[in-house]
Amino acid sequence: MMLKFCARLIITSIMALRYKITSRKDNIKGEEKKFIMQAISTGTVDAERIALEISRECSLSEVDVQAVIMALGQKLRFHLEEGEIVELGDLGRFQLRIKSPTQNEASALHPSAIKAFRLNFQPSKKMKHWLKSEISVRKVAKK
């Protein structure tokens, strides 16, 4: 198991999630402008960066971690296509969903009616707890 090799892996967050307040108007319902809080992305982290960070915190090399990440993606696709739910411990569960129109008759539904496949992610209990109580936020001043 990877945890044996990465026992020193430390997960900490120094930064707070940044947000801004933006206005939205529902033109369909004709409602007045309302305000929402919107998370601000600070960038994208790719698999190479994640592999480097993990390798610095455990005994696996960066190349080994990259190989595991790549293999995980391949196995995830394989098992999802087999119709299985993929559960990844403290991260959560992945499942494929089908988007298709409703029909009055079951016989009217066939594979060509599929509009899209959706990848559903359900966070684990530990991840849900983190989402509910452990994220700090900071409002960003307007420019």
pLDDT at residue 89, as a whole number: 95
Residues 6 or more apart from 127 whose CB is under 8 A from it?
90, 91, 92
pLDDT digits (tens, 9 = 90+) for 26-50: 777 777 888 889 999 999 999 999 9
Q: Would the CA dihedral through 33, 36, 42, 45 be positive or negative?
A: negative
pLDDT at residue 30, as a whole number: 74
> Rounded distance, CA 28 to CA 15, Å?
38
pLDDT digits (tens, 9 = 90+) for 63-113: 999 999 999 999 999 999 999 999 999 999 999 999 999 989 898 899 998
pLDDT digits (tens, 9 = 90+) for 2-34: 444 554 444 555 678 899 998 888 777 777 888
pTM confidence score: 0.73
pLDDT at residue 1, as a whole number: 45
